[in-house]
């Protein structure tokens, strides 16, 4: 077992006043068909040598555009004003040749998608060497040596062999490390990382963040970490800047911003985040509304339309970014600042005080009593669940699904099998939420589709209320589909763009011959999911992501189903929107008595919403139990690693918590390891077990059993560890 503690301490002690990146009043405007689009407005910040600054914000807040402007990577249609100095040298307005000398040498950038930021036709060694050769007068041999050296530093095993490989031979996490190696090739003074881990799985994310940390230590570079993930920010930066509608709305040390936010938006963002370190009864407090259109910004504070504290002045004048606490520090770039007219009112405010009560005020005041009820209702529900498990609705026994791999060419012979799901048994009971958790490619979505019989199993059984589904034909299955409905991950792809919202929601009713009262029912459903029923004649593209997901839920509810299978229903949504959808799902379950199978990779959301959890790895369930059991006493090393890898949005906890780190990437499901499938990455297998004990892991696949922990796990040597 590896424990790493705070690997950030070196940076916090920086006293060097040497400013490496100085951004002053930077604004970016794009010209568009509908008028000027103000993507960034008057952003100023400074980064000192070795310091790490986190820029957080939701999609469209301008956080990426800011860094693209500094790097000179914006298209010609963008007009950039203001100044950005790298080591005192102005970079805004440089021509391409001039900025190329700075780019990659003094300032380097890491992009989100490691798939597209490497050139597939060159070896990774060539690509790293190229970065060196562009800016340094060295021989090719020296550059290659440097490449091997760098690969080693970012934690790539066998760098001397890897250096001659092509990007497609490396996994996503490896590729992102190569990108980091390229970024540090010339010992830059600033590294800008734009969502460097968003495309990666959590366990790989942890590894890449560590590589990034190593790169910083090695080069002594300052880091600008752009992300939407408050957890990543909490653990890896010294100072935070929160962006909203193209402006910085709050800056300060991580502790200040996370523990003492002085801008309602920052407070609301923290309140809308489901947390893995909190039990589920707490209802999330979403922020109302959606971010303003950058084409048509409000006259006053950009957040005012969504702000529960907004007063007259907020709608007319835009607050400047000013010191939130008097006399603390004179340097405007170090002190805790917030752009709010009433920031002093937020002292000791909690998100639920501010956002929940206003949400109710906007409605009828009589509802207050009911709101207080929800906490109690959740508790009651939990008691019920514990007291008597409901009837089993949907169950799977030994479900197996193998996808054939076929050769190219005319014959298309079968040359192998992807073992997507390898023997899964689970039960979904009445009125409960079962979460299926795992990283990408573990087979959780395939399992969901097998349960619905949208794809057919290779072997195994699926039953719904005692009736076997696996032997039914498509037409026999059709009437049962009324009870089993699916909600999709992508709110953009799952709605037919050519149909109006009413038609989309009414479609299941028409299919099942209930078209008669459909019009009225559609209005009821839209109201039920919190949409304006008058908007039924609009098309999906006219709605925001959160609203579209509500349409998808309304469609799934139209036939009064008993079971909803939710396939990553909130992972495509921004934090403040996600909270609203989670609350909706909880309310609907209480009201309509639904059962949910909740497929997700996000343990924080799962902790918040699920009654029971099953953790999947490479097509098998490795651990299952109630949410409390699993999070409080995880027994399988994979569950432990997964919990460790989820960043907590709490700077102190995040930096001091015990971690169980896994190495490497998930093996290919076409050729899974023998015995225990997790053994190739298992910290226990690698570090604690004797050779004799290891034999058992290699030879015998562990059964899913209760090994004295009160819940079942599939590890020969399981042992409870407390992690939160």
Partner 1 sequence: MSEMQSRIAMDDGSSDGPAAPVNRGGDLTQVQLIWRRFRRHRAAMASLVLLGLIVAFAFLGPLVWQWGHTVDSNIPSNAGPSLEHPFGTTKQGNDVFAQTMRGAQQSLKVALTVAVVSTVVGATWGAVAGYYRGRTDAIMMRIADIFLIIPLIVAVASINGAVRGGTTWYAVALIMCLFSWATVARVVRGVVLSLREQEFIEAARAAGARATRIIFRHLLPNAAGPIIVAATLLIAVAVLTEAGLSFIGFGIQPPDISLGKMVEGARTAAFTRPWLFYPPGVLIVLICLTINFIGDGLRDALDPRQTMVRR
User: Which residues between 439 and 478 bind partner 1 (CB under 8 A)?
Assistant: 452, 454, 477-478
Smallest separation, CB 540 to partner 1 (Å): 8
* C-alpha angle 99-90-253 in degrees, rounded to nearest 5: 110
- Among 132, 233, 437, 486, which residue interacts with partner 1 (rule: CB under 8 A)? 486
Residue placing its CB nearer to partner 1 in the complex, 337 or 547: 547
CB atoms < 10 A from the CB of 40, how many?
A: 29
- Among 18, 164, 218, 370, which residue interacts with partner 1 (rule: CB under 8 A)? 370
Smallest separation, CB 295 to partner 1 (Å): 8
Structure tokens at 61: 């807040």
3-state secondary structure 47-98: EECCCEEEEECCCCCCHHHHHHHHHCCCCCCEEEEEEEEECCEECCCCCHHH
- Among 212, 577, 622, 643, which residue interacts with partner 1 (rule: CB under 8 A)? 577
Provide the total of helices (H) and of strands (E) in the chain, helices listed first: 27, 24
Q: Which stretch binds partner 1 (CB under 8 A): 327-335, 386-394, 464-472, 550-558?
A: 550-558
Applying the rule CB under 8 A, the residues between 89 and 118 that interact with partner 1 are none
- Among 18, 164, 218, 496, which residue interacts with partner 1 (rule: CB under 8 A)? 496
Is residue 288 involved in binding partner 1 (CB under 8 A)? Answer: yes
Measured CA to CA, the distance from residue 548 to residue 489 in angstroms comes to 11
Smallest separation, CB 246 to partner 1 (Å): 15
Smallest separation, CB 268 to partner 1 (Å): 12
Measured CA to CA, the distance from residue 490 to residue 609 in angstroms comes to 20
Measured CA to CA, the distance from residue 602 to residue 617 in angstroms comes to 14
- Among 587, 632, 658, 688, which residue interacts with partner 1 (rule: CB under 8 A)? 587
Smallest separation, CB 356 to partner 1 (Å): 10
Applying the rule CB under 8 A, the residues between 13 and 42 that interact with partner 1 are 33-34
Smallest separation, CB 18 to partner 1 (Å): 43
Is residue 722 involved in binding partner 1 (CB under 8 A)? Answer: no
Measured CA to CA, the distance from residue 452 to residue 184 in angstroms comes to 48
586 with 570: CB under 8 angstroms? no
635 with 661: CB under 8 angstroms? no
Q: Which stretch binds partner 1 (CB under 8 A): 289-297, 462-470, 616-624, 640-648?
A: 289-297
The 459-464 sheet, strands edge to edge: 414-429, 392-406, 459-464, 467-468
Q: Which stretch binds partner 1 (CB under 8 A): 177-185, 215-223, 546-554, 638-646?
A: 546-554
Is residue 391 involved in binding partner 1 (CB under 8 A)? Answer: no
CB atoms < 10 A from the CB of 121, how many?
A: 9
Smallest separation, CB 99 to partner 1 (Å): 33
Pairing mode, if any, of strands 35-48 and 19-32?
Answer: antiparallel
H/E element holding 27?
strand 19-32
Applying the rule CB under 8 A, the residues between 557 and 576 that interact with partner 1 are 559, 576
586 with 379: CB under 8 angstroms? no
Measured CA to CA, the distance from residue 186 to residue 107 in angstroms comes to 9
Is residue 297 involved in binding partner 1 (CB under 8 A)? Answer: no
Q: Give the dihedral of Cα atoms 670, 676, 680, 683; nearest 10 deg.
A: 150
Residue placing its CB nearer to partner 1 in the complex, 217 or 538: 538
Q: What is the DSSP secondary-structure string of 464-501?
A: ETTEE-TT--HHHHGGGGGTEEEE-S-TTTSS-TTS-H
- Among 580, 625, 651, 702, which residue interacts with partner 1 (rule: CB under 8 A)? 580
- Among 552, 634, 649, 669, which residue interacts with partner 1 (rule: CB under 8 A)? 552
Residue placing its CB nearer to partner 1 in the complex, 212 or 563: 563
- Among 544, 658, 673, 701, which residue interacts with partner 1 (rule: CB under 8 A)? 544
- Among 363, 379, 398, 700, which residue interacts with partner 1 (rule: CB under 8 A)? 363
- Among 498, 687, 692, 708, which residue interacts with partner 1 (rule: CB under 8 A)? 498
Measured CA to CA, the distance from residue 206 to residue 177 in angstroms comes to 12
Q: Which stretch binds partner 1 (CB under 8 A): 64-72, 108-116, 173-181, 499-507?
A: 499-507
- Among 137, 537, 687, 708, which residue interacts with partner 1 (rule: CB under 8 A)? 537
- Among 405, 493, 698, 705, which residue interacts with partner 1 (rule: CB under 8 A)? 493
Residue placing its CB nearer to partner 1 in the complex, 13 or 369: 369
Is residue 541 involved in binding partner 1 (CB under 8 A)? Answer: yes
Q: Give the dihedral of Cα atoms 671, 675, 681, 682; nearest 10 deg.
A: 170
Smallest separation, CB 472 to partner 1 (Å): 12
Structure tokens at 2: 């590896």
Structure tokens at 718: 């399981």
Residue placing its CB nearer to partner 1 in the complex, 143 or 597: 597
CA atoms within 13 A on the CB side of 238: 22
Residue placing its CB nearer to partner 1 in the complex, 494 or 604: 494
CA atoms within 13 A on the CB side of 533: 11
Is residue 286 involved in binding partner 1 (CB under 8 A)? Answer: yes
- Among 146, 162, 216, 555, which residue interacts with partner 1 (rule: CB under 8 A)? 555
> How many residues at the interface with partner 1, by CB under 8 A?
72
Smallest separation, CB 401 to partner 1 (Å): 16
Q: Which stretch binds partner 1 (CB under 8 A): 194-202, 243-251, 483-491, 689-697?
A: 483-491
Applying the rule CB under 8 A, the residues between 503 and 532 that interact with partner 1 are 507-508, 511-512, 527-532
Write down the residue that tokens 């008097």 correspond to: 326
CA-atom Rg of the chain in angstroms = 27
Write down the residue that tokens 């956002």 correspond to: 355
Smallest separation, CB 526 to partner 1 (Å): 9
Is residue 542 involved in binding partner 1 (CB under 8 A)? Answer: yes
The 19-32 sheet, strands edge to edge: 35-48, 19-32, 78-86, 89-90
Residue placing its CB nearer to partner 1 in the complex, 188 or 580: 580
178 with 156: CB under 8 angstroms? yes
- Among 485, 624, 644, 709, which residue interacts with partner 1 (rule: CB under 8 A)? 485
């Amino acid at each position: 077992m590896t424990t790493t503690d705070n690997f950030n301490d070196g940076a916090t002690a920086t006293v060097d006043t040497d400013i490496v990146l100085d951004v002053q009043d930077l604004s970016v405007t794009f010209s568009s068909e509908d008028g000027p689009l103000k993507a960034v407005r008057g952003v100023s910040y400074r980064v000192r040598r070795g310091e790490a600054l986190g820029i957080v914000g939701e999609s469209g807040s301008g956080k990426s555009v800011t860094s693209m402007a500094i790097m000179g990577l914006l298209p010609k249609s963008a007009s950039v004003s203001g100044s950005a100095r790298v080591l005192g040298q102005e970079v805004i307005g440089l021509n391409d040749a001039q900025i190329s000398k700075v780019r990659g040498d003094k300032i380097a950038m890491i992009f989100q998608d490691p798939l597209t930021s490497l050139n597939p036709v060159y070896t990774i060694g060539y690509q790293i060497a190229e970065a060196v050769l562009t800016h340094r007068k060295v021989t090719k041999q020296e550059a290659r040596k440097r490449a091997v050296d760098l690969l080693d530093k970012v934690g790539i095993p066998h760098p001397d062999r890897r250096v001659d490989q092509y990007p497609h031979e490396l996994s996503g996490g490896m590729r992102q490390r190569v990108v980091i190696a390229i970024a540090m090739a010339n010992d830059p003074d600033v590294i800008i990382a734009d969502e460097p881990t968003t495309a990666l799985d959590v366990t790989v994310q942890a590894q890449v963040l560590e590589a990034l940390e190593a790169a910083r230590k090695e080069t002594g570079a300052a880091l600008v970490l752009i992300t939407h993930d408050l957890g990543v920010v909490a653990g890896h930066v010294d100072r935070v800047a929160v962006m909203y509608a193209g402006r910085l709305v709050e800056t300060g040390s991580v502790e200040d911003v996370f523990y003492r936010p002085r801008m309602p938006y920052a407070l609301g963002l923290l309140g809308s985040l489901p947390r893995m370190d909190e039990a589920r009864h707490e209802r999330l407090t979403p922020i109302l509304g959606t971010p303003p259109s950058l084409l048509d910004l409000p006259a006053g504070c950009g957040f005012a339309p969504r702000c529960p504290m907004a007063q007259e002045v907020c709608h007319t004048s835009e607050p400047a970014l000013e010191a939130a606490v008097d006399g603390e520090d004179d340097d405007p770039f170090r002190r805790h600042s917030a752009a709010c007219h009433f920031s002093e009112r937020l002292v000791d405010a909690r998100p639920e005080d501010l956002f929940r009560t206003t949400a109710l005020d906007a409605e009828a005041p009589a509802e207050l009593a009911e709101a207080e009820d929800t906490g109690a209702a959740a508790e009651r529900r939990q008691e019920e669940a514990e007291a008597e498990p409901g009837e089993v609705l949907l169950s799977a026994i030994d479900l197996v699904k193998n996808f054939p791999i076929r050769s190219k060419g005319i014959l298309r012979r079968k040359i192998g099998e992807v073992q997507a799901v390898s023997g899964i048994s689970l039960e979904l009971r009445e009125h409960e939420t079962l979460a299926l958790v795992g990283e990408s490619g573990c087979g959780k979505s395939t399992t969901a589709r097998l349960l619905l019989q949208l794809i057919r199993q290779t072997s195994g059984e699926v039953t719904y209320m005692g009736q076997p589904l696996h032997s039914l034909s498509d037409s026999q299955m059709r009437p049962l589909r009324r009870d089993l409905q699916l909600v999709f991950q992508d709110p953009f792809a799952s709605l037919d763009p050519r149909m109006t919202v009413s038609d989309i929601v009414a479609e299941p009713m028409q299919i099942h011959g209930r078209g008669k009262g459909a019009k009225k029912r559609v209005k009821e459903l839209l109201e039920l999911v919190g949409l304006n029923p008058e908007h039924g004649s609009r098309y999906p593209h006219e709605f925001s992501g959160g609203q579209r997901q509500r349409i998808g839920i309304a469609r799934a509810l139209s036939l009064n189903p008993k079971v909803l299978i939710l396939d990553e229903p909130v992972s495509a949504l921004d934090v403040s929107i996600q909270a609203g959808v989670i609350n909706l799902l909880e309310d609907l379950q209480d009201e309509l008595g639904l059962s949910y199978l909740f497929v997700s990779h996000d343990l924080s959301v799962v902790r918040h919403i699920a009654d029971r959890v099953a953790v999947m790895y490479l097509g098998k369930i490795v651990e299952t139990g109630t949410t409390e059991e699993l999070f409080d006493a995880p027994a399988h090393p994979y569950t432990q690693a997964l919990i460790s890898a989820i960043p907590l949005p709490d700077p102190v906890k995040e930096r001091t918590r015990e971690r169980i780190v896994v190495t490497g990437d998930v093996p290919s499901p076409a050729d899974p390891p023998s015995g225990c499938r997790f053994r190739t990455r298992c910290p226990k297998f690698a570090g604690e077990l004797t050779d004799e004990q290891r034999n058992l892991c290699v030879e015998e696949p562990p059964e899913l059993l209760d090994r004295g922990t009160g819940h079942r796990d599939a590890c020969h040597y399981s042992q409870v560890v407390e992690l939160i």
